[in-house]
Structure 1
Amino acid sequence: MIGFRREDDEIEYLEEVEYSEEHLEDDLHKVIHSDPRLVMGTLTTRENVVLGSKLQLPTGKEPDLLVCDKRGTLTTIEFKRDRSPRSAVTQLFDYASSLARMDQDEFFDLTDYESLEELYGAFDHEEDSEFDIDDFEREFTEGLESPQLMLVAYTMTDDVRRMTRWLRDAHDLKINCVEFDYYEKNDAEMFVPTIIGADETQEIKEQEESPKQKKYRRFFGEVLERFKEELPGVTSRSASSDSWLTIPAGHTDVEFVWHFKGDPGDKEFHVVMNFQFDESAQNEEMLETMQSAIEDRSLDISGEIHSEEYGSSGYTRLYVKREVGPLDDALEDEDLKVWAVDRLVEFHEQLTPVLNEELQ
């Protein structure tokens, strides 16, 4: 059972049930199609889009879902509503081998996007100006030749766990299983996913990283561990090779971010609070609320507060910043690392209560 407490201190409970008792496989498909973060969340902090559902490949096979993130990483997903048969792993291999025979034009003829340029444009790349469409195409091409594979099921059998572990360890194949617990009460449902093999997959990805990506991972790995010591339980996230790292704020449409900005030899480091609601008016309102709270409540936020609208969706953010210079300097700058952790701790401790009040 899972218990959760409401404002009146009353604890309510959700009871775990077998998903397959009341649901068809298509139901699970629809849930993840509507928001791939449910299974992709701990494998990548990046935005993901669905390229297509039940696309018919040249072999006649139809993968349940094809997903791409803003770096061009392609993931093929297969769903099973109850136990995972070992044949599902073979299905994933079949999909991957079919994709590997296709060129870009053939692939996009099948998807909801007409071209690589259109897919690249579906993401907001302002956060990572160093990563251009050539980088995206390189990552996407590699993914088409060898996509990331994912099997999602209510229960993952021992033989499937053993097979996929061997494929990761012995053959560096990026294949993961996602097992989920399912709870329900009246009109409430809760999905609790567990990604099996995430650490091994991350190690495979790290072997493929460029020197610059390894530098980002090293820096964020250090500051993230210090942040976890300061505020235990806030995040279980691992460091990434992106020029930014997000930290949850407790609400889907709000996040904290550490972010390197600027040219390779002239970097700034930002500590950010992003507002990413669907309505631009709400993003503007939340920004103004936070700015007023900092001023009216005399919150203990160090440094000059900057704010802006960003992207094409009306998102807003507030942030503090610090000059860095070359990325190599940041790796050895102990003062910067202390500053980065202290500022994010301040943001989280001071601004999260205001956020909770507004979104209650």
Structure 2
Amino acid sequence: MGKKKLNIPTIIFKTMSYIVIKDNNILEIIEEKDFSADNREKYLHKLIEEYPQIILGDIIEREVKTLASRLRLPSGGELDLLLIDSSGRLTIVELKKGKGHREAITQLLDYASDLQQMNEDEIFGSGKTKFNSLKDAFRTFYEDEEEYSYEEFRHIFLKSINDPKEIQLVLVSYDLGDDTKRLVEWLKYFKVRIFCVEFEYYKSENKEIFVPKLVGFEDIQKKSNEELTERQKKYLMFFSEILSRFKEIKVGVTERKATYNHWLLIPAGFGSIHFEWIFRGKEPNKVLEVGLHFEYDDETLNQKLLDYFKSKENELKKEIRDIKFGKFGKKWRKIYAEKLVGSLDNALNDEKVKEWAIMTMVKFYEVFKEKEEINKAMQILNQV
């Protein structure tokens, strides 16, 4: 993880025992290594603590943060990582640098039962959480924009520490034994939210590559409509329609499916650059935004990309009249257009709003992707 290398184009071929990276005309072969041979468990711990998304991308569609590391439990045990997502749901992560045995599953279940003996004050009063309170955690996701109300967020959090079927459990291991996988699949029949992630590890003199794989991904039950809030159902309905219509215009651009989040991404061909529809603000002043987002870990790079396109503002406004340039989050940047929709119901029922959302995204894609403006920007910045 960390800063992403900017040389383009980069092509990665993966085989059973090594990865071949073609970067322009340079070919590099990186061999698979035994992660447990050269690394300590605390190295894996620190990596996932800082970047939990590398193991949870297929499990949690929402933004996720580390709530606590090495949290001491009432029994005296110590769980590796406690994560919280933007809905308020908790996930316990147990890390094994080598082979994940059945005992690790027992340990996860024990930690879950132990954590559910704690209340909200005990968790945040432990001295191990990264936030002073649940409301502080909530604000790091939403700042002044609430797509979940704090009451909804807290309700899901409390269910995670009271209902055994609501907390999520994840075992991460370099190698998972068949007996471990069988036990996990058996527990899923009893509606236990338990997952296993194993990873391949490739290393050269100056590169490390992790390839995580969610074991049994095809068996994961997607969240049913009965579990969705009314607001989430509306998001899903809105994005399902506009995404379907966008795909009819831009055939083959994306295989992405609509979700129940308040945003939906369209890949731009670069890992941390993407197009996005997103609802902002509260009703009755809700805004729908279409934009191009720069979300690298390096804030300086995000700003350089924004500055590059801002220098072409007059030219871009000939294509997208109401284009704007801005900052969001702590370090990300965006180029966007916005429309006041008032409420989700208005957005769902107003054909003009949906037509605006679709055609504005089409225009963004044509200007920035099809005319290779992003590619040009990356090449120029690479020469600085």
| Superposition TM-score tier, normalisation by shorter sequence | 0.7 to 0.9
Which of 22, 27, 30 is the aligned partner of 2:46? 30
- In structure 2, the residue matched to 1:349 is 370
Structure 1: gaps (5+ residues): none
- In structure 2, the residue matched to 1:309 is 327
Counterparts of 2:217 and 2:312 in 1: how far apart (Å)? 39
Q: Identity over the aligned pairs, expressed in percent?
A: 33
SS in 1 for 2:111: helix
- In structure 1, the residue matched to 2:293 is 274
Q: Is the 8 A contact 1:4 1:13 kept in 2?
A: yes
**Any residues of structure 2 matched to 1:1-360 within 5 Å, and which?**
1-7=18-24, 9-110=25-126, 111-112=128-129, 113-126=131-144, 128-145=145-162, 146-168=166-188, 170-198=189-217, 200-201=219-220, 203-204=222-223, 207-224=226-243, 230=250, 232=252, 238-251=257-270, 253-264=272-283, 267-276=286-295, 282-293=301-312, 295-296=314-315, 301-311=319-329, 313=330, 315-322=332-339, 324=341, 326-328=343-345, 330-331=347-348, 333=351, 335=355, 338-339=358-359, 342-343=362-363, 345-346=365-366, 347-350=368-371, 351-360=373-382
- Count matched residues: 354
Structure 2: gaps (5+ residues): 1-17
One-letter code aligned to 1:125:
E
Task: Tell me the TM-score normalized by structure 2.
Answer: 0.79
Counterparts of 1:344 and 1:152 in 2: how far apart (Å)? 39
Range with bigger deviation, 196-205 or 52-61 = 196-205
Report the CA distance shift for 1:280/1:182 in structure 2 as closer, same or farther (over 3 A): closer
Q: CA deviation at 1:259?
A: 0.8
Deviations 1:64-101, CA, capped at 9 Å, x for gaps: 11111232221110111222211211111111111111
Counterparts of 1:343 and 1:73 in 2: how far apart (Å)? 37
Task: Tell me the TM-score normalized by structure 1.
Answer: 0.84
Output the aligned Cα RMSD. 3.1
Counterparts of 1:183 and 1:99 in 2: how far apart (Å)? 35
Report the CA distance shift for 1:247/1:162 in structure 2 as closer, same or farther (over 3 A): farther
Q: CA deviation at 1:24?
A: 2.4
Report the CA distance shift for 1:34/1:309 in structure 2 as closer, same or farther (over 3 A): closer
Deviations 1:252-301, CA, capped at 9 Å, x for gaps: 654432112344466543212233456766544422211334545x6984
Q: CA deviation at 1:183?
A: 0.8
Q: Is the 8 A contact 1:178 1:196 kept in 2?
A: yes
Report the CA distance shift for 1:141/1:359 in structure 2 as closer, same or farther (over 3 A): farther
Q: Is the 8 A contact 1:57 1:99 kept in 2?
A: yes
